[in-house]
Structure 1
Amino acid sequence: MDFIQEIFAYRFLGYAALATLLSGIACGIVGTYIVSRKLVFMSGGITHASFGGIGIAYYFGFAPLVGALLFAVAAAVGIETFSRRGKVSEDAATGILWSIGMSIGIIFIFLTPGYAPNLMSFLFGNILLVNRTDLIGLGIMDGILLLLFAACYRAILYTAFDREFAASQRLPVGAIGHTMMILIAITIVLTIKTMGIVLLMSLLTLPTVIAGMLTRNYKQLTIGSCIGGTVSVLVGLYISYVGNIPIGAAAIAVLSAAFCLVKAGVYIGRKARAISRG
């Protein structure tokens, strides 16, 4: 009860709670596309490649998230372009950009005079540092994603599961692919403060994997992913508040526990149905 009261009493805690809702929606929508298209490794590559932009931003003295955004979008477009042209496989392009981004970030951070005070918050997240500008950015991102999925649901669905069939239906597969990759990159950068570079990939994938054990309907999968991501981060925020531990780690622990419970429940349900039929 004290936790709920303090959400309304302290602005930074209220901002954190609102950020969990907005991050859960964004990660749920793009996470469903990522898992459906089997782009989990790619999302990790974009996330870690953004660290190069953070390092360069620190060195030249401008906003770290701006540098992260430029690197993340460039990595996303590069992966999509190289893989579509067949010159480099998607996995290879992701691995290359992942390592290049991390190495550039480390080099420029070490070259920067003094100490980078907020570096740990980018690596592991610190949702308590979320400000009004971050919330506005997440809100706009959620609005864009919801409008895009409402307007192009069929094209996104077909592109996510079968790009060749989507192309045979004369759907703009290339435009959808590049657009989704850019939106994935932007979502990753906007939610770095919530989960951090190291743990963000779990928030993009685990809620969808859990929801996928309960439904195969893409729309229901997306809704379930949004709810699962939001609830896990909110519970993680409460655990962080009570136990004084990092919220990102707490949220992933909640998702991991939920995965095990749902997996066990599905297994027991299947066994029970098999016994009743036998």
Structure 2
Amino acid sequence: MEILQYDFIQNALISGVLISIAAGVIGTLVVVNKITFLTGGIAHSAYGGIGLAIFLGIPVLFGATIFAVITAIIIAIITLKNRSRIDAIIGMMWASGMAIGIIFVDLTPGYNVDLMSYLFGSIIAVSSEDIVYMSLLDIFIIAIVLFFYKEILAVSYDSEFATLRGINVKFFYTLILILSALCVVAAIKAVGLILVIALLTIPTYLAENFASKLSTMMIISSILATMFTIVGLIFSYFYDISSGASIIMVAVVALGVVKLIKYKK
């Protein structure tokens, strides 16, 4: 308990809980709608926003948010019109986003901060401003999901039925991608752009074993993500390893244990 006296540990725990809540809610939508690959493309494209923010001298999370949301809208528009080429489109967005980010960082004079923290996470470097930003993103994500829950539920499980009921499937498909983009940005400081998909999907894969409703799955996913984040932080602190990698490995081990128990039964 003595480690809680440090401000950076307190910030890490608070941000970890905030990120886990968002990851549990949005991760459920990502898995149910089978858009994991699309979300991965958005995550890596957000690197372009990081580079642009550094070049312009604006807050990194703000720049990443704008870039990620724009990328999500573009991906939604393109994939709705041409689903047969989703893999090529995502690959293009993925690579171009990261290339843009690297170019802008290279063009920024005198910038020498380690960019690896954005790729693999550095939750112990979270500031009070980052926590406020994450809190606002959490509130927005949860408010949107609660307000449109019935429509999102219908679109996620049966888009044809949703269309017959007069629900604008294209709008809610785009909305889910935008929410995924916001969640990705919130998780950048915790696990980084490379590992964010694991944090979004592993808790949901586990939650599927214990939940039969979308709302229950979201709650269980959030709880599991929080547990993985806290345990991962503890391992990271005491063994001096990367926080992002530690969090994800805890989640992977938990998933492996659950699957092994199910196999034995």
Taking structure 1 as the reference length, the TM-score comes to 0.89
Conserved? CA contact 2:198–2:248, under 8 Å: yes
Conserved? CA contact 2:39–2:177, under 8 Å: no
Relative to structure 1, is the Cα distance of residues 65 and 150 closer, same or farther in structure 2, using a 3 angstrom cutoff?
closer
Displacement, 1:174?
2.4
Paired position in structure 2 for 1:26: 22
Task: Work out the CA distance in 1 between the residues paired with 2:222 and 2:168.
Answer: 26
In angstroms, what is the RMSD of aligned CA positions?
1.7
Displacement, 1:241?
1.0
Instruction: Tell me which of 19, 32, 47 is aligned to 2:43.
Output: 47
Paired position in structure 2 for 1:86: 82
Q: Do residues 5 (structure 1) and 2 (structure 2) align?
A: yes
**Identical aligned residues as a percent:** 36
- Identify unmatched segments of 5+ residues in structure 2: none
Amino acid of the structure 2 residue aligned with 1:167: T
Paired position in structure 1 for 2:125: 129
Taking structure 2 as the reference length, the TM-score comes to 0.94
Task: Work out the CA distance in 2 between the residues paired with 1:104 and 1:43.
Answer: 18
Instruction: Tell me which of 188, 204, 207 is aligned to 1:192.
Output: 188
* Stretches of 4+ aligned residues off by more than 4 angstroms: none
Q: Do residues 140 (structure 1) and 141 (structure 2) align?
A: no
Conserved? CA contact 1:213–1:263, under 8 Å: no
CA offsets 1:17-63 (integer angstroms, 9 cap, x no match): 11111100001100000011111111111110011121222233333
Task: Work out the CA distance in 2 between the residues paired with 1:233 and 1:110.
Answer: 33
Paired position in structure 1 for 2:224: 228
Q: Which moved more, 1:102-111 or 1:125-134?
A: 102-111
Matched residues, number:
265
Amino acid of the structure 2 residue aligned with 1:11: D
Amino acid of the structure 2 residue aligned with 1:72: A
Paired position in structure 2 for 1:261: 257
Displacement, 1:169?
1.3
- Identify unmatched segments of 5+ residues in structure 1: 270-278
Instruction: Tell me which of 160, 163, 169 is aligned to 1:164.
Output: 160
SS of equivalent residue, structure 2 residue 193 = coil
Q: Do residues 74 (structure 1) and 70 (structure 2) align?
A: yes
**Higher Cα Rg: structure 1 or 2?**
1
Q: Which moved more, 1:252-261 or 1:54-63?
A: 54-63
